[in-house]
Amino acid sequence: MKKPSLSFLGLEYAFALTIAIALAYSFWFFFTYKYFPQPFFYDIGDTWMDWFNPAFWSHQPGAYDTYVTIYPPLTYVILRVVTYGPCYAGGVVGGLARECDVLGIVALHIFYIIAVTLTARTFWKVDRRTALPRTIALSIGLPMIWTMDRGNVILITYIFVLLAYGPLVKSARMRWLYAGMAVNMKIYLIGTIFAQLLHRRWRWFEGAMISCILVYCISYLLFGSGSPSEIYRNITDFAENLTINNPLDIWMASSLLPLLQLTRSEIFPTILYVGSDNVRLIEILAPLIMHSAQAIIMVAAAACFFRPEAVPRYRMVTLSIGIALLSTEVSSYTQILVLLFCFMEPSKGFLRRYAIVIGYLICIPLDINIDRLPPTYKDSFLFNTTVPVEYVVQLGPFIRPILTLSIPVSLAILTIINVWQDIRQQGWGERWRFRRDVQLLPWLRRPQPPTPPASSV
pLDDT of residue 287: 86
- Higher-confidence residue of 433 and 1: namely 1
Taking residue 41's Cβ as centre, other Cβ atoms within 10 Å add up to 18
Distance CA 322, CA 179 (A): 17
> Pick from 166, 156, 165, 215: which is nearest to 191 by CA?
165
Round to the nearest angstrom and report the end-to-end CA distance of the chain.
Answer: 54
Give the type of residue at 375: P
Contacts of 13 (CB under 8 A, 6+ apart): 132, 133
Instruction: Check whether 444 has a pLDDT greater than 60.
Output: no
Q: Which of 63, 81, 74 is nearest to 217 (CA)?
A: 74
Distance between CA 374 and CA 376 in Å, rounded? Answer: 7
When pLDDT is cut at 50, 70 and 90, the band that residue 456 belongs to is very low
The amino acid present at 243, given as its one-letter code, is: T
Q: How many residues does the chain have?
A: 457
Report which residue type is found at 300: A
Q: Which range has the worst mean pLDDT, 272-276, 281-285, 377-381?
A: 272-276
- Give which of 142, 150, 36 is closest to 378, Cα–Cα: 36
pLDDT of 455: 45
Query: Domain of 93?
Result: 9-426
Q: Which of 41-50, 91-100, 236-245, 429-438 has the highest mean pLDDT?
A: 41-50
User: What pLDDT, on the 0 to 100 scale, is given for residue 104?
Assistant: 94
Q: How far apart are CA 103 and CA 221, in angstroms?
A: 25
pLDDT, position 420 = 92
Q: Report, as an integer, the average pLDDT of 232-244.
A: 80
Q: pLDDT, tens digit, for every residue of 163-206?
A: 999 999 999 999 999 999 999 999 999 999 999 999 999 999 99
Q: For 216-236, write each residue's pLDDT tens digit.
A: 999 999 999 999 999 999 888
Average pLDDT over residues 227-253: 79
Confidence of residue 425 (pLDDT cuts 50, 70, 90): confident
**Angle made by CA atoms 247, 322, 293, in degrees to the nearest 5:** 80
Specify the higher pLDDT residue, 422 or 2.
422
- Weakest mean pLDDT among 138-152, 162-176, 243-257: 243-257
Residues near 221 by Cβ (< 8 Å), separated by ≥ 6?
none
Secondary element (H or E) of residue 386: strand 385-389
Q: Considering its fold, how many domains does the chain have in total?
A: 1
As a whole number, the mean pLDDT across the chain is 86
Q: Which strand (E) or helix (H) includes residue 113?
A: helix 102-126
The 10s digit of each residue's pLDDT in 298-353 is: 999 999 998 998 899 999 999 999 888 887 767 778 899 999 999 999 999 999 99
Q: Is residue 2 part of a domain?
A: no
C-beta of residue 63 within 8 angstroms of C-beta of residue 57? yes
Q: Which of 97-111, 143-157, 229-243 has the lowest mean pLDDT?
A: 229-243
For residue 441, tell me if it sits in a domain.
no
The verdict on residue 437 lying in a domain is no
| Residue 431 within any structural domain of the chain | no
Q: Is residue 435 part of a domain?
A: no
Q: Given phi > 0 = left and psi -120 to 50 = alpha, else beta, which region is 375? A: beta
Most confident of the following: 99-108, 268-277, 426-435: 99-108
| 263 or 368, which is more confident | 368
Concatenating the DSSP letter of every residue in 28-51 gives HHHHHHSSPPTTS-S-TT-TTHHH
Whether 442 shows a pLDDT value over 80: the answer reads no
67-85 pLDDT per residue, tens: 989 999 999 999 999 999 8
In this predicted structure, what is the pLDDT of residue 281? 81
> Band of the pLDDT at 457, cuts 50, 70, 90?
very low
Residue 367 has pLDDT above 70, yes or no: yes
Q: How far does CA 132 lie from the centroid of its chain?
A: 21
Q: Which residues contact 333 (CB under 8 A, 6 or more apart)?
A: 143, 146, 147, 150, 152, 154, 254
Give me the pLDDT at residue 25, please: 95
Please, which contacts does 130-136 make with residues 24 or more away whose CB atoms are closer than 8 Å? 130/4, 130/9, 130/12, 130/343, 130/347, 132/13, 132/16, 133/12, 133/13, 133/15, 133/16, 134/12, 134/16, 134/343, 136/16, 136/19, 136/20
| pLDDT value at 101 more than 50 | yes
Is there a domain that residue 443 lies in? no
DSSP 453: P
How far apart CA 446 and CA 337 sit, in angstroms, is 38
Residue 269 reports pLDDT greater than 90: no
Does residue 151 fall inside a structural domain? Answer: yes
**Is 416 domain-assigned?**
yes
Q: Is 376 helix (H, G, I), strand (E, B) or coil?
A: strand
With 60 as the cut, is the pLDDT of residue 450 above it?
Answer: no
What is the value of pTM for the model shown?
0.89
Q: What is the dihedral of CA 199, 347, 325, 251, to 10 degrees?
A: 170
Q: How far apart are CA 38 and CA 391, in angstroms?
A: 8
The answer on pLDDT for 4 being more than 70 is: no
Determine the residue type at 207: G
Q: Which residue has the higher pLDDT, 116 or 236?
A: 116
| Residues 322, 320: Cα–Cα separation, whole Å | 5
Nearest alpha carbon to residue 163 among 184, 152, 177 = 177
Residue 11 or 282, more confident = 11
Residue 437 pLDDT > 50:
no
pLDDT at 429: 60
